Amino acid sequence: MTTPIRNDLVHFVHSQLAKNRRQAHAVFFKAGAEHSAESWGTGRAVARIPRISGSGTSRAGQATFGNMCRKARMFAPLKVWRKWHAKCNLTMRRHAVASALSASACTPLVMARGHRVEEVAELPLVLDGVKADKTKDLLATLNKFGAGPELMKVDKSKSMRNGQGKYRYSRYVRSKGPLVIYNDDDSENLVKAARNIMGIDVCNVNRLNILQLAPGGHLGRFLIFTSSAFKQLDNVFGDFTKASTQKSGYTLNRSIMTCADLSTIINSDGVQAVLRAEKTSVRIHDKSKKNPLTNAAAMHKLNPFAKKKVELLKAADAKRHAARKATLKAKKTNKRKIVRNKASQALQQGLTDSFAAADKMLADEEAAGNYRPGDNSSEGEE
């Protein structure tokens, strides 16, 4: 139960072993290629894909056989000789089983998987001297040790399978419940009574299966051991002091680090005492060349007057801007506006006087009888 919990290892092993239950299937080897079709060849401004023969229907002349065509064969049709099964290293499988057993003793992982183990006294749950000649006896024992809510949850979880799979095999799905692990010494009635309860699976301790210990590749299944099966684990897997009696050459996986707090380890007195002093590099000279035209420090080193020159240029610019501003302000004074207004007023007054003189002349001629409206010189000439 002290084996490292390797979720990545369990997930990989489960995915590999789950492939070994698949049944080979394939499509009909003539599917999509049973038409009477032939290519029209070149010269007809169409692709050279085979086309349905005949005429008079919309189907005639349609392309077929190619996987890009409608109602044609699929690309790379499934074959029964496909590689359906997958191999997995034996040591990896053993490590995965040991890791799944270790995860079953971690209460948070078991609860995170959805099992109702709030009333269970301890995990893993080990039952000693169970007498289960009948199913009701074992059921009463499980309820006594706090597994009743888990069995109730499994019983209520029955639902219809999603998708088209409901038409193929089992129509209903149900949550995984506890897994009862027994030994060869246990009564056969116990095994039959356990597997007769809805949602409970049974497994022999000598034939532990990662597909049952971690369904779906998820760690933390609720395990119920018999006392003899729990004692048999040391013989099956061994421990860190003795080898396994059933698995030749196998040693339990162990953590490389007993403490994963790296900051505490590095800053400890024992580690710091044997570390060498930190190396420091002293730069004797600056090997990088800097452009004085773009680097002010380099320019000041080459030309001490550069800084003063920049200040003089700024002062000259400020003086020039001030003079220009004063000139523009002088051009916009009121004197020029007054002169412009006087000239405009004189022009307007001259026009007004001219119109008044013309009106007076016309009035005098009319009074003297020399002017009649409508008369002009052009009429007299005619």
Question: In this predicted model, what pLDDT tens digit does every residue of 204-254 receive, in sequence order?
Answer: 999 999 999 999 999 999 999 999 999 999 999 988 888 888 898 888 888
Which residues of the chain fall below pLDDT 70? 286, 333-336, 370-382
Instruction: Flag whether 9 is in a domain.
Output: no
Q: Are residues 228 and 112 in the same domain?
A: yes
Residue length, the chain? 382
Residue 163 three-state SS = helix
Inside any domain, residue 169: yes
Quick one: 198 and 93 in the same domain?
yes
The residue type at 355: F
Specify whether 102 is located in the same domain as 153: yes
In a domain, 46, yes or no: yes
For residues 106 and 144, membership in a common domain is answered with: yes
- Domain endpoint, select from 62, 84, 106: 84
- Quote the mean pLDDT of the chain: 89
d(CA 133, CA 85): 40
Query: What is the reported pLDDT for 232?
Result: 92
Asked if residue 227 and residue 108 are part of one domain, the reply reads yes
| pLDDT score recorded for residue 104 | 94
**For residue 293, what are its two tokens?**
């035209």
Question: Looking at residue 366, what is its pLDDT?
Answer: 82
Are residues 200 and 98 located together in one domain of the fold? yes
Q: Are residues 164 and 212 in the same domain?
A: yes
Q: How far apart, in whole angstroms, are the C-alpha atoms of residue 295 and residue 312?
A: 19
Residue of 194, 72, 178, 175 whose CA lies nearest to 131: 194
**In terms of residue numbers, what domain contains 67?**
23-84
The span from the CA of 89 to the CA of 92, in Å, is 5
Number of domains in the chain: 4
Same domain, 200 and 65: no
Q: Are residues 55 and 120 in the same domain?
A: no
Residues 151, 218, single domain; the answer is yes
Please write down the long-range contacts of 338-344, taking CB distance under 8 Å and 24 or more positions apart: none
Q: What is the pLDDT of residue 341?
A: 80
Q: How many CA atoms lie within 13 A of 42 on its CB side?
A: 0
Q: What is the pLDDT of residue 11?
A: 96
User: Which of 217, 237, 257 delimits the end of a domain?
Assistant: 237
The answer as to whether 32 is a domain residue is yes
Q: Which two tokens stand for residue 240?
A: 């860190």
- DSSP assignment of 287-320 equals -S---TTT-HHHHHHH-TTHHHHHHHHHHHHHHH
> Same structural domain for residues 48 and 156?
no
> Helix H segments across 106-219?
107-112, 135-144, 148-156, 188-195, 210-213
pLDDT at res. 165: 87
Residues 6+ apart with CB under 8 A from 122: none
pLDDT at residue 373 in the model: 61
Q: Is residue 303 part of a domain?
A: yes
Same domain, 206 and 311: no
Q: What confidence tens digit (pLDDT) does each residue in 76-109 have? A: 999 999 999 999 999 999 999 999 999 999 999 9
Q: What is the pLDDT of residue 368?
A: 83
